[in-house]
C-alpha cells in the first residue's frame, strides 16, 4: 500500500480507525477475497492431511478427493474420472469468478470515475 495514501488521510484529519475503514480496508478487499478463495480451493482437493489425521470415516471425514481415491482403489475408473471432472469444473469456476471480481475491483480502485 502506498504510504502517501495513509499520509493524505492523516493530513486530512482522519484518525486511525477511519483511515483503516476508508483507506486500508477497501484497498485490501481484493487480497482478502483472493486469500479466502485460494484457501477454499486448496481445501477442496485436500487429501493427505484428511486421510492421515482424520482417516476415512464414512459421513464424517469424507471429502471429494478421498472419494476419488476410494473409487480408484476399487478400480472404478469411470466414476473416479467423472468425480474428478466435477471437482475440476467447480475449482475452475470459483477461481475464474474470483479472478474476474478482482480484475474489476482493481480497475475501480484506480479509476475513481468508474466506481459510479
Q: What letter would DSSP give residue 54? A: I
pLDDT (average), residues 88-93: 87
pLDDT value at residue 107: 60
| φ/ψ of residue 70, rounded to 5 | -60, -40
Q: Where along the chain do its domains lie?
A: 34-115
Stronger pLDDT, 112 or 31, i.e. the higher one: 31
pLDDT tens profile 55-84: 667 667 677 888 888 899 999 999 999 999
- pTM for this model (two decimals): 0.58
Cell numbers found for residue 114:
468508474
The reported pLDDT for the residue numbered 95 is: 81
pLDDT over 90 at 43, yes or no = no
Amino acid at each position: 500500500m502506498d504510504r502517501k495514501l495513509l499520509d493524505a488521510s492523516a493530513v486530512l484529519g482522519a484518525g486511525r480507525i477511519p483511515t483503516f475503514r476508508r483507506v486500508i480496508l477497501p484497498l485490501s478487499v481484493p487480497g482478502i477475497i483472493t486469500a479466502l478463495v485460494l484457501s477454499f480451493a486448496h481445501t477442496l482437493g485436500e487429501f493427505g492431511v484428511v486421510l492421515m489425521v482424520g482417516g476415512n470415516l464414512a459421513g464424517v471425514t469424507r471429502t471429494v478427493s478421498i472419494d476419488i481415491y476410494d473409487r480408484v482403489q476399487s478400480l472404478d475408473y469411470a466414476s473416479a474420472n467423472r468425480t474428478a471432472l466435477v471437482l475440476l469444473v467447480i475449482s475452475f469456476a470459483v477461481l475464474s469468478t474470483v479472478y474476474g471480481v478482482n480484475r474489476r475491483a482493481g480497475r475501480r480502485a484506480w479509476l475513481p470515475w468508474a466506481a459510479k
